[in-house]
Every structure is written in structure tokens, then in C-alpha cells.
Amino acid sequence: MINNYLISIIVPMYFEEEVAKECYYRLKTLMIKNNINYEFIFINDGSKDNTINILEELSKHDKNLKIIDFSRNFGHQNAVTAGIFNCSGDVAVIMDADLQDPPELILPMIKKWKEGFNVVYGKRTTRKGENFFKLLTAKYFYKFLNYMSDISIPKDTGDFRLIDRKVINEFKKMKEKNRFIRGMISWIGFKQTYIEYKRQERFAGKTKYPLKNMLKLAEDGIISFSSKPLKIITHLGSLIFSLSILLFIYIIIYKLCLKNTLSFNVIIIFILFLFTGIQLLSLGILGMYTKRIYDESQERPPYIIKKKIKKKKKKKKIEVFMIIKK
């Protein structure tokens, strides 16, 4: 019996020629085996390898495969956004092409959705194939993000999740250009839960999400969902002002009581360096917020689609027979 709902599987791809076919066949096998109505939305995020050619070939044999081909690389978060904006499903599942997040987890996600949850995200209990540095930075990434952010970001989660039509519709109303999708979905709210799983090694190829991308993601999360950096600057400025007043009083008392000329050159130089560093840091933080305002005011689209590819459904021929009575 075929289920009466449609599920959209959104998969961004960037230089994934080694995993594109395996990802497609593994997903399709899962859908057919469980009689699920599906559409696949594969987004080619400006790959310069053979990814788009492989996807085009696959689409020739599957009317349920949609391909969105970007004009250049616009980044993972914008690729996912394009998938969400172009999906037709009652629910959508966001996942990466490298198969570190097992497609088979989609089934328990659907079960949770049927129980009444609007968002079901995957929570990693272990992460195979990742070195100590990657594990350490990922651990403190979530701690730092949750400390700085005004919303709660679930620990050890990525963008691998199921979202229902309510969440999709609310997501499509959000127009910001610098996107932090897991933060945006947390901000939307509704009923959310998680499923724990063991993250696997990449099926093939190398990670396309190096440390600099993680830092950019953290910046997007903090600047988009937190005013804490500005509050820290304010508190730091107040503290330094108070310490400056106390130091000034100390110098006056010292000179009046001891009647001695004291050279404070070293202290003054230290204070000047300290103040200069704090001022530069403050300007940097203010600059990041200002740049966000500038980015939003430009009204540029977050991505440009070069082409969309989908196999056209064949029209059924209808033969009309006329019976003529003599």
C-alpha cells in the first residue's frame, strides 16, 4: 500500500561525483521498498567536476528527480534554502550526499512526524572517520554557539532533519541572506524532537566543510541570533571606564600622600595597548553587524539558478472508439 503523503528529500551537492549515484540509489531503494511517494531535489552548488552530468543522466530515468543547478557556488546553506523553496512535499528531509547521515533514519523520522512532531532532527552519538581536532572543534563549536546565541541550538546536530509543511511555510517567509538554517528552524519553534544515531564515515571523497566554513557558520549563527557580542562590548567598556577612574584616584592619592613624582610610563603604555586592542575588537564586532545590515539592504538574491531539470511526464494516449449502429 502506497502512503498518502509526499516526502521531499533535499540533497545539496558540491564536488560529489564520487557519491552522487550511490546516494541516489540508496534513497530510491528506501522509498520503493517502503512504498513512499517521493521527490528528490538535488542541488548542484556550482560543482566543477562531473556531478551535474551524473545528475542529469539519473534524471532521464526518474520523473521524481528534480535538479537545481546554481550559476556558481553559493554555499551549503543557500543550497538547502533553494531545496526548501522548491519542494512540494508534505514533509521535507534535509541531508548531505556523503551518506554520513544514514538515509534509513528517514523512516523513524517519519514515524515521529506521524506522532505529531513538526521537526525531527538527527542527534549524533558517535562520529566515525573524524580526527581528534575535528571532534574537539565540533564539541566546543556547539558550546560556544549556545552560550552566545539567544536561541537554543541542539548539541551534536547538523542540518539532517525532517520538517513538515507548517515549518516549510514559515521558513519561506524568512528573507535574510546570511542563513544559519538549524538556528532558523529552532527559532521557528513548533513541536521538535530528535533521534539519536551513529554517524558513519563518508562513502567516498573528502569533506567539503573545512574549519573556515565552520567559523563562517558560527559567525552566521551568532550575528543572526544574538545581541550578546554588543552587550559584552558595553559591559567591557563600563568596566574599563570604572577601572580608569579608580586608577586616576590611586595616582592622585599616591602623589599627595608620598609627595613623590612617580613614573607611570610602563603602566600608561600597557593601558594604551589594552584600550587600542579593545577598541579594534569592538569596531570589528560592530563592523560585522553593520555588514549584515548592508548585505540585507542590497536586496541581492541568496542564490542564482542557472537551470532546473526534471523529466517530463509522458502524456497518455487516449483512443476513442465510436460504435455506429446501423
Record the cell numbers describing residue 322, joined without a space: 465510436
Q: What is the pTM of this model?
A: 0.71
Which run of H or E residues covers position 68? strand 65-70
Task: Express each pLDDT in 295-306 by its tens digit.
Answer: 666 677 778 888
* pLDDT (tens digit per residue) in 48-92: 889 999 998 898 888 899 999 998 988 888 999 999 999 999 999
User: What CATH architecture is 6-226+300-310?
Assistant: Alpha-Beta Complex (3.90)
- Buried-state track 97-115, b at ≥16 Cβ within 10 A, e below 16: bbbbbbbebbeebbebbee
Task: Tell me which of 310 and 281 has the higher pLDDT.
Answer: 310
Amino acid identity of residue 79, one-letter, is A
Give the residue among 113, 92, 101 at the shortest CA–CA distance from 163. 92
pLDDT tens readout for residues 97-137: 888 889 999 999 999 999 999 999 988 877 665 656 666 66
Q: Are 5 and 93 in contact (CB under 8 A)?
A: no
Angle at which helix 132-148 crosses helix 228-258, to 10 degrees, equals: 80
> Grid coordinates 558513519 are at which residue?
200
Query: Does the pLDDT value for residue 321 go beyond 60?
Result: no
> What span, in angstroms and rounded, lies between the C-alpha atoms of 38 and 314?
18
pLDDT tens, residue by residue, 14-33? 888 888 899 999 999 999 99
Residue count (the chain): 326
Report the mean per-residue pLDDT for the chain: 78
Q: Decide: helix, strand or coil at residue 105.
A: helix
The Cα–Cα gap between 162 and 112 comes to 10
Q: Domain spans of the chain?
A: 6-226+300-310
Long-range contacts of residues 21-30, Cβ cutoff 8 Å, at least 24 apart: 21/54, 21/58, 22/99, 22/203, 22/204, 23/97, 23/98, 23/99, 23/103, 23/203, 24/58, 24/65, 26/99, 26/103, 27/103, 28/62, 30/103, 30/104, 30/106, 30/107
Distance CA(31)–CA(6), nearest Å, equals: 11
Is the pLDDT at 1 greater than 60? The verdict is no
Question: Which helix or strand (DSSP H or E) is residue 13 part of?
Answer: strand 6-13
Report how far residue 319's alpha carbon sits from residue 326's, in angstroms, rounded to the nearest whole number.
Answer: 22
Query: Within 13 A of 92's CA, how many CA atoms are on the CB side?
Result: 24
